[in-house]
Amino acid sequence: MLHEFERILIGPREMGLVDADAAGSGIDSFRLMQNAGEAVAALALARYPDSGRFVVLCGPGNNGGDGYVAAAAFARAGASLCIYGIGSEDLKGDAARARARVEAEVAPLSAYACRPGDVIIDAIFGAGLSRDVPQDVARIIADATKLRLPIVAADIPSGLDGETGEIRGAAFSATDTVTFMARKPGHLLLPGRELCGALHVFDIGIPKRLVMARAGKLWENGPGLFSDALAGPTAESHKYARGHVAVFSGGPTSSGAARLSATAALKAGAGAVTLVSPSEALAVNAAHLNAVMLREADSRAIRAMLGDHRVSAFVVGPGYGVSAALRELALSLLTKPTVLDADALTAFASEPKSLFEAIHAEGATVVMTPHEGEFGRLFPDLASASGSKVERARKAAARSGAVIVYKGSDTVIAAPDGRAAINTNAPADLATAGSGDVLAGITAAMLAHAAPAFEAACAAVWIHGRSGQVAGGGLTAETLVDVIPQAFPEMV
Ligand SMILES: NC(=O)C1=CN([C@@H]2O[C@H](COP(=O)(O)OP(=O)(O)OC[C@H]3O[C@@H](n4cnc5c(N)ncnc54)[C@H](O)[C@@H]3O)[C@@H](O)[C@H]2O)[C@@H](O)CC1
Ligand SMILES: [K+]
């Protein structure tokens, strides 16, 4: 897998184990803390050379230790400096050692009053945050936010949960965050991603193999995850060798969604695409299609497609209309790779088990693409459960047997085997009507390329996001479809 180390995300608990492994293998943990704190100071000095004063806020654990190291570096650099700490007399281990090397006075954190011109070094809480921040920290966060003070966070903005990206009571909104070795899920999940500012990953000297050994199966989504799995079309390739996608259309007044999926599948490189339409929508579909083929949806046609080895993936759901007939149709398609989107998800709200059992029994290749509302209808208990979006998506994937694309500005893709990726390239403009239909079509095209479901879904989400960037502000689902091919050159 390309660039795997750069893409891995490691939870705070696993990072703690990496730290312990590093110490166990003879690496000097104080040296690591020094590297971490000095990296924070170096970044702050470079970013804010004219700062009125650096205010270093130090917590009671090792994140505070990083702060004391940074404070010593500011003092050596001759910068104006104030230090405020929680429990600075009761520190332990490396943090106590870092504190002992600071000659300047350390005032209690509660005494800090924000002043315009301050640059805050936030070393209050890092990976060890375990509950809502105390009141005096929340008060400082509120004051600093009001004054819009620049904030350089050590590891993660204090108050942000590194596992879930959620705010524990209150959190700093940093201008820069300096993290160590690898990013945490909370740096990419929302709202966390928006609170980190510019994120800098600094190698403090822990061997990468130790980090890799503890990393779970979670990555930032990107071409390194899927480009090997997508065999590009060659000049000689027959159109069906690039796969044939069949998309099921709704009735005459709701056929546009399926047409968007179908044209997106074509633009995303499916060799052929057929829109399978109820007879009463054939005329309207025919009036809008050129390269996409059209076929009437009768049971004979569906049987024929299921038996035709050239038909390689289905899309069902966009604009179809929620009905028992849709449930029956969806279940009948599961012998081939299938994307279930929109109405095909809502249709199973009253009996999700029947779908999940069929997927498991068939060993089916299914990608489901729920947004928040659809996720809640299919997995009501998971939607309201605590934990991160990654955990919810993983549980949904394991339960359903499908790859789950849990959509949002921080779309999470999760496979039943526990692999998961967080997508980060989607611009806000993608939240537009028909955008999901386009994603379903791209996903089917990737499945039609014979990519395994997880890689196909990761590729589709990334291509969709990249196409959104290319289409730019004011994009519509149509302009999004048009630029899909422009996302491809960047994939390899
Ligand atoms: N080898 C290492 O261990 C390294 C660790 N590093 C730093 O160490 C940090 C992790 O250190 P720790 O595990 O000590 O964790 P933290 O420093 O984040 O915090 C732990 C302390 O905060 C207390 N605490 C947690 N939540 C609280 C709350 N809401 N209110 C009040 N007190 C609370 C805990 O009881 C504990 O005393 C990383 O984020 C990173 O900055 C770096 O120094 C690099 C090397
Ligand atoms: K911090």
Average pLDDT, the chain: 95
Report the amino acid identity of residue 79. Answer: A
Q: Tell me: the pLDDT tens digits for 124-155? A: 999 889 899 999 999 999 999 999 999 999 99
Distance 328 CA to ligand 1 centre (A): 53
Does residue 335 carry a pLDDT above 50? yes
Task: Indicate which residue's Cα is closest to atom 21 of ligand 1.
Answer: 61
Over residues 4-20, the mean pLDDT reads 92
What is the number of the ligand 1 atom nearest to the C-alpha of 19? 1
Task: Indicate which residue's Cα is closest to atom 11 of ligand 1.
Answer: 62
Length of the chain: 492
Beta partners for residue 200, in sequence order: 178
Instruction: Please say whether the beta carbons of 365 and 453 come within 8 A.
Output: yes
* pLDDT-based confidence at residue 4 (cuts at 50, 70, 90): confident
Distance 124 CA to ligand 2 centre (A): 5
Residue 228 is predicted with a pLDDT of 87
Distance 59 CA to ligand 1 centre (A): 8
- CA-CA distance, 189 to 203, in Å (whole number)? 22
Kindly list the domain boundaries of the chain, sorted by start residue.
Answer: 4-215, 223-485
DSSP string, 413-454: EE-TTS-EEE-----GGG-STTHHHHHHHHHHHHHHTT--HH
CA distances from 78 to 45, 186, 293 (A): 11, 34, 72
Higher pLDDT, 2 or 15: 15
ipTM: 0.98
Q: Is 32 in the pocket of ligand 1 (CB under 6 A)?
A: yes
Q: Tell me: the pLDDT tens digits for 193-207? A: 999 999 999 999 999
Phi, psi of 296 (to 5 degrees): -75, 140
Does residue 234 carry a pLDDT above 70? no
- CA-CA distance, 463 to 487, in Å (whole number)? 6
The residue with tokens 């005096």 is 136
DSSP string, 223-267: HHHHGGG-PPPPTT--GGGG-EEEEE---TTS-HHHHHHHHHHHH
Residue 309 is predicted with a pLDDT of 92
Q: The CATH number of 4-215 is which of 3.30.365.10, 3.40.50.300, 3.30.1330.10, 3.40.50.10260?
A: 3.40.50.10260
- CA-CA distance, 210 to 17, in Å (whole number)? 9
**Of 471, 464, 426, 425, which Cα lies nearest the Cα of 446?**
464
Residue 5 is predicted with a pLDDT of 85
Beta partners for residue 322, in sequence order: none
Cis bond upstream, residue 49 (ω within 30): no
CATH topology identical between 4-215 and 223-485: no
Higher pLDDT, 115 or 489: 115
CA angle 468, 472, 475 (to 5 degrees): 75
Closest ligand to Cα 177: 2
- CA-CA distance, 222 to 4, in Å (whole number)? 10
- CA-CA distance, 458 to 454, in Å (whole number)? 6
Long-range contacts of 142-149 (CB under 8 A, 24+ apart): 142/170, 143/113, 143/114, 144/114, 144/118, 144/120, 144/172, 145/172, 145/173, 146/114, 147/114, 147/115, 147/116, 147/118, 149/114, 149/116, 149/118, 149/119, 149/120
Report the amino acid identity of residue 198. Answer: A
Residue 1 is predicted with a pLDDT of 43
Q: Is 155 in the pocket of ligand 1 (CB under 6 A)?
A: yes
C-alpha 34 chain-centroid distance: 31
Does residue 237 carry a pLDDT above 60? no
Residue 233 is predicted with a pLDDT of 54
C-alpha 104 chain-centroid distance: 42
Does residue 235 carry a pLDDT above 70? no
Does residue 310 carry a pLDDT above 80? yes
Over residues 23-33, the mean pLDDT reads 96
> Of the residues 18, 130, 179, 196, which should be mutated to test ligand 1's pocket, given the most ligand atoms within 8 Å of the CB?
130
- Domain 223-485 class? alpha beta
Does residue 342 carry a pLDDT above 80? yes
Residue 232 is predicted with a pLDDT of 57
Q: What percent of the chain has pLDDT over 90?
A: 91
Residue 127 is predicted with a pLDDT of 86
Instruction: Please say whether the beta carbons of 35 and 204 come within 8 A.
Output: yes
Instruction: Please say whether the beta carbons of 63 and 126 come within 8 A.
Output: yes
CA angle 479, 484, 490 (to 5 degrees): 135
Distance 449 CA to ligand 2 centre (A): 44
Using a CB cutoff of 5 Å, list residues around ligand 2, an ion.
122, 126, 153-154, 158
Residue 492 is predicted with a pLDDT of 59
Residue 340 is predicted with a pLDDT of 98
- CA-CA distance, 359 to 351, in Å (whole number)? 14
CA angle 225, 227, 228 (to 5 degrees): 95
- CA-CA distance, 464 to 87, in Å (whole number)? 49
User: What DSSP character marks residue 172?
Assistant: -
Task: Indicate which residue's Cα is closest to atom 9 of ligand 1.
Answer: 63
Residue 490 is predicted with a pLDDT of 72
Q: Is 39 in the pocket of ligand 1 (CB under 6 A)?
A: no
- CA-CA distance, 375 to 349, in Å (whole number)? 9
Dihedral sign of CA atoms 485, 486, 487, 488 in order: positive
Q: Tell me: the pLDDT tens digits for 385-402? A: 889 999 999 999 999 999
* pLDDT-based confidence at residue 70 (cuts at 50, 70, 90): very high
Q: Tell me: the pLDDT tens digits for 344-365? A: 999 999 999 999 999 999 999 9
Residue 85 is predicted with a pLDDT of 98
Instruction: Please say whether the beta carbons of 335 and 356 come within 8 A.
Output: no
Q: Tell me: the pLDDT tens digits for 84-98? A: 999 999 999 999 999
